Amino acid sequence: MKPKRLREHWGSRFGFILAATGSAIGLGNIWKFPYITGEHGGAAFVVVYLLCIIVIGLPVMMAELAVGRTAQRNPVGAYRVLRPGTPWFLVGVMGVLAGFVILSYYSVVAGWILAYVFKSISGAVTGFTAAAGGAEAAKAHFQGFAAHPGWSVGWHFLFLAVCAFIVYRGVKGGIEAASKILMPILLAILLVLVVWSLTLPGAAAGVKFYLVPKITTVSVGPLSFPFFKGLTGSAVLIALGHAFFSLSLGMGAMLTYGSYLKKDADLSFSTMTIALMDTVIALLAGLALLPAVFAMGLAPDGGPGLLFHTLPAVFSSMPGGVVFAVLFFVLVAIAAVTSGISILEVVTAFFMGELGWRRSRVVPVVAGIIFLIGIPSALSFGAWEGLRLFGLSFFDLMDYLSANFFLPLGGLLIALFVGWGWGPKAIAAAAEGSYHGFPTGKIWLWMCRTITPIAVAVIIIAKLAGIG
Residue 458 CA to its chain's centroid (Å): 22
Three-point CA angle 358, 364, 365, nearest 5°: 80
Question: What are the angstrom distances between the C-alpha of 132 and each of 48, 129, 137, 141, 427?
Answer: 39, 5, 7, 12, 61
Nearer Cβ to ligand PFF (246/259): 246
Which residue in 8, 10, 23, 351 binds ligand PFF (CB under 6 A)? Answer: 23
**Which of 36, 76, 102, 113 touches ligand PFF by CB under 6 A?**
102
CB of 104 to ligand PFF, least distance (A): 12
Site stretch for ligand PFF (CB under 6 A), options 42-50, 242-250, 389-397, 430-438? 242-250
Task: Kindly state whether residue 46 participates in binding ligand PFF, applying the rule CB under 6 A.
Answer: no
Q: Which is nearer to ligand PFF, 26 or 134 (CB)?
A: 26
Stretch of 23-31, 126-134, 221-229, 386-394 contacting ligand PFF, by CB under 6 A: 23-31
Classify the C-alpha dihedral 236-241-245-251 as positive or negative.
positive
How far the first Cα of the chain sits from its last, in Å, is: 58
Nearest to 15 by CA among 338, 332, 363, 360: 338
102 vs 349 by CB, closer to ligand PFF: 102
Q: Residue 106 or 196: which CB sits closer to ligand PFF?
A: 106
CB of 344 to ligand PFF, least distance (A): 10
Residues 317-333 as b/e (b if ≥16 CB within 10 A, e otherwise) read bbeebbebbbbbbbbbb
Size, binding site for ligand PFF by CB under 6 A:
15
The correct pick among 152, 197, 310, 342 for binding ligand PFF (CB under 6 A) is 342
343 binds ligand PFF (CB under 6 A): yes
Per-residue contact flags (x/-) with ligand PFF for residues 250 to 279, judged by CB under 6 A? -x-x--------------------------
Q: What is the DSSP string of 325-358?
A: HHHHHHHHHHHHHHHHHHHHHHHHHHHHHHH---
Stretch of 18-26, 43-51, 177-185, 228-236 lying at the interface with ligand PFF (CB under 6 A): 18-26
Shortest Cβ 450–ligand PFF spacing (Å): 25
Decide if residue 286 touches ligand PFF (CB under 6 A): no
- Regarding 300 and contact with ligand PFF (CB under 6 A), the answer is no
Closest separation in Å from C-beta 113 to ligand PFF: 11
By C-beta, is 18 or 253 nearer to ligand PFF? 253
CB proximity list for 273: less than 8 A, separation 6 or greater: 17, 21
The residue within the footprint of ligand PFF, chosen from 17, 19, 24, 277 (CB under 6 A), is 24
Q: How far is CA 353 from the centre of its chain?
A: 25
d(CA 228, CA 217): 8
CA-to-CA dists, residue 311 to 77, 175, 209, 292, 434, angstroms? 44, 30, 17, 8, 44
In 3D, which of 84, 123, 76 has the Cα closest to residue 324? 123
The contact pattern for ligand PFF, residues 26-45, with x = CB under 6 A and - = no contact, is xxxx----------------
348 contacts ligand PFF (rule: CB under 6 A): no
**CA-CA distance, 23 to 427, in Å (whole number)?**
25
Does residue 245 bind ligand PFF (CB under 6 A)?
yes
Quote the least distance from Cβ 97 to ligand PFF, whole Å.
12
Cα–Cα separations (whole angstroms), residue 242 to 56, 153, 257, 278: 11, 26, 20, 12
Give the other-Cβ count within 10 Å of 373's Cβ.
16
Which x/- pattern over 321-340 shows residues binding ligand PFF (rule: CB under 6 A)? ------------------x-
Least distance CB 260 / ligand PFF (angstroms):
15
Q: Are 433 and 266 in contact (CB under 8 A)?
A: yes
Asked if 193 is part of the footprint of ligand PFF (rule: CB under 6 A), the reply reads: no
> Distance between CA atoms of 159 and 144, rounded to whole angstroms?
20
Residues in contact with ligand PFF by the rule CB under 6 A: 23-24, 26-29, 102, 245-246, 248, 251, 253, 339, 342-343
